[in-house]
Amino acid sequence: MMRISRTAFVTALTLFTLAACTSEKSETSEPDSPRYVKLADVSNIPNFDEFTFPAVVSAVKTVDLSFEVSGRLIQTDLVTGNDIEKGKLLATIDRKPFERRMEESKTRLEQSERELNRIEKMFSQKLVAQSTLDSAKTSYELAMLDLKNAEQDLSYTQLYAPFDAKLSQRLVENNSFVAAGTPIARLQDVSKIYFNINVPERLLTANLGRGIKQASATLATNRSQWYPVSYVEHSTQPDPVSQTYEVVFAMEPRDELPLTPGARAIVKVSLQGSMYPEGLVVPVKSLVGDENNGFAVWIFDKATSRVTKQAVNVKHIENELAIIEGDISLGQRVVSAGATKMTADMKVLPYKGEK
């Protein structure tokens, strides 16, 4: 059996003790070793007054044309894509049945008039009762109304363009039988070009009370040229699915901007005033904490190269920036990367690669 000498044991014990002391000294001195961190300046609030939205081009209004009476189409001038002037005759249904009815109504009216004249003479001679005269007057008035209805129905057999428009769709063919109220064509009012955008609820709420300074639009496929547009209207109830509000802008048609309903576009809106008149800005990554327990940032002290935790109130987050309020000043620097690893009074050094 191997025996360890007393001298060898003492030597080993001494080496172990020295190693332990060295390790303890290293652990004790480790907190004094500075950590390299990325810093960011506390800055003023930038102008959050310009927003860009995808848009869809639409017509001022879209109308489905239909006849007020039923009949067979005998004439149409419905070419899809054509520009149509107000008052243009677009379609006609067979007028002959309506013309015959109007002639019948005229004949009944003439007969009722003759009968009324005869009864009035007899009444003046006290040969008929008052009730007979009243019946004759009623028959005459009903015949007159029937003629007016027949004339109106005859006028309904021809369909005219109600406004300057573009024919977007033909829904029936010539010689078809169409019932009253059945759409035969779809017209789009393109006297102006409408741009429809959807604004998120949070963005609309945050900017309540701010007027529109200016707005412009362009094609989604070519953003080299922007054109001024004007505000028209906006919805007051959000979409139940997307929780966005529809806002409409308009512009006069331009020959150099070939836009048709359904085309994709871009709308840029600049607002008046400031969304947050007070506050400062730091990177979002510099924030530590949460909504329940509150937020804070680590402020760097250049004189001591140490950090101090400072509670802040987060007012708004936009992209990678946070608008804050609190006991913090413009020009101070905060830890913008690795903030969650900071501890009170920790010694840090700015990262050399920081720009």
SS3 (DSSP) at 280 = strand
Residue 253 and residue 91 in contact, taking contact as beta carbons nearer than 8 Å: no
Q: Which domain, by its residues, includes 248?
A: 50-59+191-271
Q: What is the rounded radius of gyration, in angstroms, for the C-alpha atoms of the chain?
A: 42
Same domain, 164 and 110: yes
The span from the CA of 222 to the CA of 226, in Å, is: 10
The span from the CA of 61 to the CA of 233, in Å, is: 14
The span from the CA of 156 to the CA of 67, in Å, is: 7
Same domain, 263 and 280: no
Instruction: Give residue for tokens 């950590």.
Output: 35
- Answer yes or no: is 4 within a domain: no
Residue 63 and residue 187 in contact, taking contact as beta carbons nearer than 8 Å: yes
- Answer yes or no: is 18 within a domain: no
Tell me the whole-structure pTM to 2 decimals: 0.59
- Answer yes or no: is 336 within a domain: yes
The span from the CA of 327 to the CA of 122, in Å, is: 106
Same domain, 179 and 80: yes
Which helix (H) or strand (E) segment holds residue 345: the answer is none
How many domains would you assign to the chain?
3
- Answer yes or no: is 81 within a domain: yes
φ, ψ of residue 199 to 5 degrees: the values are -105, 125
Same domain, 130 and 82: yes
Same domain, 197 and 151: no
| CATH number, domain with residue 213 | 2.40.30.170
Measure Cα distances from 131 to 6, 17, 135, 136, 172 in Å: 150, 136, 6, 9, 52
Same domain, 91 and 175: yes
Same domain, 162 and 212: no
- Answer yes or no: is 23 within a domain: no
| Final residue before a domain boundary, out of 136, 155, 184 | 184
DSSP strand E in 82-211: where?
A: 83-84, 89-93, 158-160, 165-170, 177-178, 183-189, 193-200
Residue 341 and residue 286 in contact, taking contact as beta carbons nearer than 8 Å: no
Same domain, 206 and 230: yes
| Final residue before a domain boundary, out of 244, 271, 298 | 271
| Final residue before a domain boundary, out of 248, 271, 294 | 271
| CATH number, domain with residue 313 | 2.40.420.20
Same domain, 152 and 251: no
From first to last of the 355 residues of the chain, give the pLDDT tens digit: 344 444 444 444 444 444 444 444 444 444 567 888 999 999 987 766 788 999 999 999 999 999 999 999 999 999 998 999 999 999 999 999 999 999 999 999 999 999 999 999 999 999 999 999 999 999 999 999 999 999 999 999 999 999 999 999 999 999 999 999 999 999 999 899 999 999 998 787 767 777 888 899 998 888 888 999 999 999 989 999 999 999 999 999 888 887 888 999 999 998 876 666 678 999 999 999 988 889 999 999 999 999 999 999 998 887 788 889 989 998 899 999 889 999 999 999 988 764 4
What 8-state DSSP symbol labels residue 208?
A: T
Same domain, 174 and 79: yes
Same domain, 255 and 307: no
User: Among positive and negative, which fits the CA dihedral 324, 326, 327, 330?
Assistant: positive
Same domain, 312 and 262: no
- Answer yes or no: is 3 within a domain: no
